[in-house]
Each structure stands twice: as C-alpha cells, then as structure tokens.
Amino acid sequence: MKVLHVCESYGGGVTSAINTYVNNCSHIEHYLLATTRDKDLTGEESKGGFKEVTLLPRELKSIMRLKNEYDRIMPDYVHLHSSFARVIVRLLPFIPRKKIIYTPHGFSFCRDDNFAAKLIYKSIEFVLKYRTSVIAGCSKNEVNLAIKTLNMRNTHEIINICEPLSLKVESMRLPLPIPSIGMVGRVSNQKGFQFYAEVAMHFKGKVQFVWIGGGDAEKEKVLKDAGVIITGWSERKEVLAQIASLDLYFHSAAWEGFPISVLEAAMYDVPVLLRGIGPFVDENLFSINNTDEAKEFISRFIKGDVFSVKTATDTTLRIKNYHTELNLKKSLSALYG
C-alpha cells in the first residue's frame, strides 16, 4: 500500500505530527510532497521514514508537479495536511474522492479573531467535505467538530504523539533566581500571544516567561514589553532542551489541533497549564478560561500550593497515558487498513 502525504505548511508541529504517523505505520510506503516556510523549519523536514520526500516552492505551478508525482506514484490514499491541501488539492479532479484523507491539524473556522473569516472557512470546509473520504482528526475535538459542525459521517481519530525523546538534553536555562514558564510556537493570534503577554506582565520581575519561537517584530514587541524572553527559531534539540528546563509549560493558544509542544512537555514531565480550548476540553484535561484564572493558578503554583502543583502534574500524566505509540499504531492501522 502507498500513501502520498501532501502538506503546504510543512514545518513546526506539523512536521513532527506527520513524522510520527509515518514512523508508526512502517509497513506502508509513505511519500511526502510539501512546501515549507523558512521561518518554521525545525531540521526534521527530511528525517521521517518516507520512501521519498519532495519539497516544492510555494508557487501555483507546483500543482502540475503534484499531478506528475501522483501519476508516477499511483498512491492508494492521498493524506492531506493543513491549508493548501485543504482547499486546492481537494478540488483537483484527477484525485478520486475515495482516496482523500484529510487531517486539519486545527480547523481554520475555530479561529476567534475574525467573524467573517470564520464563516468563510466553515463554508469552504462544509462544501469540500463532499470531496473527502475521511476526516482523520488529530484530536477528539477535531473529530467532534467534523461531526457536529460539518455533519461529516466518516471520521476517524489519529491522536497526536511526540516521537520518543530518548535524547538526554542539557538544560539551556540561564541560572535564574525566579521560576521559569514557557510556551512554544509562532508568535501569532492563533497561539494567543496577547493572552500570554497579559499574564506575563502580571508577574514581571517575579517569574521569567519565555516564548520558544518567533514571529514578526510588532507582535514580538508586545511580548518583550511584558518581560518575555523570545528565543527565536531553533532546531528541535534546542527546543526540547528549553522545554525540559521549564518549571511550568503554559499553552496559551486560542485554537489548535493537539499541539506537539504540549506532548513534548508532558514527555519530559514538565507540569502543564492549558488554556480551555477544544482539544483539551474534549479530553477532560484541566484548563483555565481567561487571563484572571491563569494569573491565579500560576500565583498559587509558584508558591508551592499543593492543589495547584498536583493539578499541573496530573495533567501531564493524563496526557502521557493517552497519547501513546500503541494507541496511535492501532488508529493508523484502522485508518489505512
């Protein structure tokens, strides 16, 4: 059996997610056709267990290359990931509907910063479901959204996991007399950078907040003004070292699939605090709903409050127990089988 993975925004967490799908379903031949964003590269782009990897320029003429690769490979399934694949590839008539599997890695209509955009994205997804055989959500939440919002009958959950973290990373944290709290991702509205900055400002001088990643200068300035250290983009080994060194991982995203960075923090037994968005709520994980709740929880946590510390560590344990290789392998076998 052959599976052709197509992804436009290959980089960051999407890279890690797709690699885990491939590495945990090695009896199938996997091919990758993707474009990348230079600022999102992690050094993992060619490290998955693919039979072939083809990275294309972010240009419309790449669609013709896609047809050529499709005709050459003749895959049993075309597994689509993220934006370009979501729309354009599902409109291409030479790919039969019965072969199309779609994993959103975060539905765009979940964004909360533009009502008109939400409506447009939802309409697009609703129409294109008729060109989709299976929506394979990367979380319980994506499956629930496909069923309830898009009325999609054929759905499947393929949980996100992080790859085995056998690498013993050395702490990269500077020696600080105060606790450190961190978040990983692009400095963007999706990742809730303003939410994060508001919480960080409240603890300025008392807690060192770190943003592992980067973005445009204007958004970065909001974080810097709140006292947040911005690391910029790093290779995965460095990112893991930074995550492992944190006292608390605080995920502030406004909408997501199920972020790999949360899984990586959990694998390193870093206590976790989550914002109350779909993927976390649907797994019944403890979460906060606004900045006031975040400030109160963090304040108690850094003081060593038993309930707060136990809550954050229990969240980590629950994530580790569900997002396992065994569960992923069973799910992939059912999906492709």
pLDDT of residue 199: 98
Looking at domain 180-322, its CATH superfamily turns out to be: Glycogen Phosphorylase B; (3.40.50.2000)
Return d(Cα 221, Cα 102) in angstroms, integer: 36
Q: For 87-142, what is each residue's pLDDT tens digit?
A: 888 999 999 999 999 998 888 887 766 778 788 889 999 999 999 999 999 999 99
Q: Is residue 45 pLDDT above 60, yes or no?
A: no
Write down the pTM of the prediction: 0.83
Query: 326 is written with which tokens?
Result: 């065994």
- What confidence score (pLDDT) does residue 236 get? 81
Examine the pLDDT at 269 and tell me if it is beyond 80.
yes
Q: Which residue has the tokens 């056998």?
A: 166
Mean pLDDT of the chain: 89
Domain at 2-158, CATH class:
alpha beta
Burial class (CB in 10 A: 0-12, 13-18, 19+), 26: exposed
What single string gives the DSSP state of each residue in 265-323?
HHHTT--EEEB--HHHHTTT---B-SHHHHHHHHHHHHTT-HHHHHHHHHHHHHHHHHS
The pair of structure tokens assigned to 276 is 């109350």
Instruction: Check residue 164 and give its pLDDT.
Output: 77
Q: Does residue 172 register a pLDDT over 60? A: no
Residue reference for tokens 């039969």:
96
Query: What percent of the chain has pLDDT above 70?
Result: 90
pLDDT value, residue 63: 83
Residue 237 has pLDDT above 80, yes or no: yes
pLDDT over threshold 90, residue 162: no
Among candidates 214, 272, 269, 270, which has minimal Cα distance to 246? 270
Q: What is the pLDDT of residues 176-192, one digit of tens each?
A: 679 999 999 999 999 99
Within the chain, which residue ranges are assigned CATH 3.40.50.2000? 2-158, 180-322
pLDDT tens per residue, range 212-231: 999 999 999 999 999 999 99
